[in-house]
Amino acid sequence: MRDRQILANKLLGQLQWIPDWAISVAILSLTPFCANLLHRILFRVVTGWVSHMDLFWRALVARTEGPTRLAFLIIAVSLAASIAPLPPGWGAIVRQVLSVGFIALLGWIALTAFHVWMVMHLRRFKLDTEDNLLARKHVTQTRILQRVVNGLIVVIAASAALMTFDSVRQYGVSLLASAGAAGIIVGLALQPVLKNLIAGIQLAITQPIRIDDALIVEGEWGNVEEITSTYVVMRLWDWRRMILPLSYFIEQPFQNWTRENADLIGVVMLYLDHTAPVAEIRRKAEEIVQASPNWDRRVIAVQVTDFKQSTMEVRILASAGSAGRAFDLRCEIREKIIAFLQQDHAHALPRLRAELPAFSA
């Protein structure tokens, strides 16, 4: 440190004819350029070093490009300010800028570190597997937690940066004095927002819904595509998107077909003539289901559940591993059963009977 100061004094002694403010401007202007150039060179070296490593390490290096550049800039400006002959008043400005930059760097590092932790945590869970209940649970909790933590980090960093300014600190004291009335007004104005934020925390803890859950909401069937801090996006079966506030899933009833597991029992209802051969229909239904790749080989049942005036009600039950497979299995049973009845037992299809009175000639 002493040698550096002596070297700086010698250099400045040779440039006494240049005003101090001009030297300071030149040094502080060149410093960001040199810091960025040095960072770019080192970053390319590190990027080339991890280019043959796992995808996680490549993504980690790419993710830290911004924070490391800001760190290089802060260090370089701090060193430049220590050797530049700053005019009176300039030192306080540079220190203020460095303080705000350092707080922003800490917040950026915190956001990056939490993102890296989230990626490492979710690497063990895959949503594209057949049994993805545990993966959907962890993905839902982590994504909601990420939004809450990111918001807290940004608010804390912004508050700390503003508190470095004396004028803002004084205004903060004044605002605290009137926080009672202001809190009531803001609370009433932000009631829907606060309700959804609290609902988001409840959803993360209790998890009535998760990412990719199959739901029936407002008479529509679809899967949970995204859960934000204020609303839920459902991808409906025909690719439409339904947007619902988080509070809806706390206050309103809905159906969750994949709450504990994805297994479902599909139901096919047939309305046939009373002469329909139930034993033949049962045999054919079992044959269709056993040959289908959508059946999970757990439940198959054919039962006569009701009699109407002109038809009897036959119910076919068949289980599948997911809602989509159950739907496809039901459609397959309907198509093949009706084809079987049309071809071999046409008399079993519903008919209308009428008696005509006999007229004598």
Q: Is the pLDDT of residue 193 over 70?
A: no
For residue 27, give its domain range: 2-123
User: Is position 40 within any domain?
Assistant: yes
CA quadruple 64, 67, 72, 75: dihedral sign: negative
Overall domain count for the chain = 2
Q: What is the pTM of this model?
A: 0.49
Mean pLDDT of 208-232: 86
113 Rama class: left (phi>0) / alpha (psi -120 to 50) / beta: alpha
Gyration radius of the chain over CA positions: 35
User: Is position 302 within any domain?
Assistant: yes
Token pair 């991890």: residue: 50
Give the model confidence (pLDDT) of 277-299 as tens digits: 999 999 999 999 999 999 998 99
CATH, residue 271:
3.30.70.100
User: Is position 270 within any domain?
Assistant: yes
Lowest-confidence pick of 150-159, 231-240, 297-306 = 150-159
Token pair 């993102």: residue: 115
Amino acid identity, position 10? K
**DSSP of 233-294:** EEEETTS-EEEEETTHHHHS--EETTSS-S-EEEEEEEEE-TT--HHHHHHHHHHHHHH-TT
pLDDT of residue 8: 56
Give the model confidence (pLDDT) of 23-60 as tens digits: 666 666 777 777 778 878 888 888 778 777 766 677 77
Give the model confidence (pLDDT) of 116-146 as tens digits: 777 777 777 766 666 666 677 677 777 777 7
Give all strands (DSSP E) within 10-157, no chain letters: none
Rounded distance between C-alpha atoms, residue 256 and residue 234, angstroms: 12
User: Is position 100 within any domain?
Assistant: yes
Select from 123, 142, 174 the last residue of a domain: 123
pLDDT of residue 167: 62
Adjacent-strand bridge partners of 227: 232
Select from 102, 123, 144 the last residue of a domain: 123
Closest CA to 323 of 294, 299, 298, 297: 294
Select from 72, 97, 123 the last residue of a domain: 123
